Amino acid sequence: MKYKSFINKLKKRLGTKDLDITTDEYGANGRREYLFYGDTVARWHVERSDYRDPESELRVSSFHTKGVNQESDPHTDYFPGTYWNNATQLIDRLVPPPPKFVPGVLVRGKSENKRAKRMGYAGKTALVTKASGKYMCLQFVCGEDNEWLNSTTGWNGMSYSVRDFELVSG
Q: Given this model, what pLDDT does residue 157 score? A: 65
pLDDT in tens, 11-70: 999 988 888 888 888 776 788 999 999 999 999 999 988 888 878 899 999 999 999 988
> Residue 144 — very low, low, confident or very high, per pLDDT cuts 50/70/90?
low
167 neighbors 107 (Cβ within 8 angstroms): yes
100 neighbors 134 (Cβ within 8 angstroms): yes
* CB burial readout 36-75, b (16+ within 10 A) else e: ebeebbbbbbbbbeeeeeeeeebbbeebbbbeeeeeeeee
Q: Which DSSP category does 122 fall into?
A: B
Which residue did the predictor score with more confidence, 37 or 148? Answer: 37
Helices 87-94 and 3-14, interaxial angle, to 10°?
Answer: 20
- Alpha carbon 116 to chain centroid, angstroms: 22
Which residues lie below 8 Å from residue 112, measured CB to CB, with a gap of 6+?
none
The whole-model pTM stands at: 0.73
For residue 44, give the nearest of 15, 14, 81, 97 by alpha carbon.
81
